[in-house]
Amino acid sequence: MKAPSESLKMPTRLSSPEQLESLRKDILSRRDSKRPIITVCAGTGCQTYGAGDVYQDIVQEVKKQGLETKLEVKATGSTDSARRA
């Protein structure tokens, strides 16, 4: 699997729904559909409520159960919908 920044054709700013759809397809094509991703928000608000500990606990449990090759754990930023809430 390619690193996210490797040859990702992401424009500096999306200016049309077609560009968004193209970016979505590009991102999905890079994912391994057989390897689910657990995402944990690492935005400022969630960090305040202990997201860092939750992330670390999930990573440790995944390792403990030997699931590193079967799923991925990622820390993400806050989503737009969460920021609007």
Alpha helices in the chain (DSSP H): 17-30, 44-48, 51-64, 80-84
* Rg over CA atoms, the chain: 15
Q: How far is the CB of 74 from ligand FES (least distance, A)?
A: 13
For residue 41, state whether it binds ligand FES (rule: CB under 6 A).
yes
Find the shortest distance in angstroms from Cβ 41 to ligand FES. 3
45, 71, 43: which is closest to 59 by C-alpha? 71
Of residues 42-61, those binding ligand FES (CB under 6 A): 43-46
Q: How far apart are CA 35 and CA 70, in angstroms?
A: 5
Q: In residues, how long is the chain?
A: 85
Residue 37 C-beta: closest distance to ligand FES, Å: 16
Regarding 40 and contact with ligand FES (CB under 6 A), the answer is no
For ligand FES, the closer of residues 46 and 73 by Cβ is 46
User: Could you say whether residue 78 binds ligand FES (CB under 6 A)?
Assistant: yes
